[in-house]
Amino acid sequence: MSNTVTMFHNPRCSTSRTTLALLEERGVQPDIVLYLDTPPDSAQIKTLLKQLGFSSARQLIRTKEDVYKELNLAEASEQQLIDAMVKNPKLIERPIVISGEHARLGRPPEQVLDIL
């Protein structure tokens, strides 16, 4: 029995492309979610946080993005961070690979292999 593998992918990100190539080398053809075009909603982000084993939305947010500073998210609450990721999906760390009930952040790309 094989789980469907899903990948939150940004084709412009070299780490995301490397992670996709790593999956394909292992015969895995993930369902690709171009999350910048179809961002996850608040409930999906909360599910992702659980699947990733993250205790805080801050672990999933790209703090070096300009919009992070523009929105003054350094002191934001959990829900404010989640809302910011829904409205500004480029704040979401990438790539994310989901297999079954588990997810891994592909930083480094090899990290996703332990859930396959």
Catalytic residues: 13
CA dihedral defined by 67, 70, 72, 76, rounded to 10 degrees? -30
Six-digit token string for 78: 């959990």
Query: How would you label 87-116 residue by residue, b for 16+ Cβ within 10 Å and e otherwise?
Result: ebbebbbbbbbbbeebbbbbeebeebeebb
What three-state secondary structure class fits 115? helix
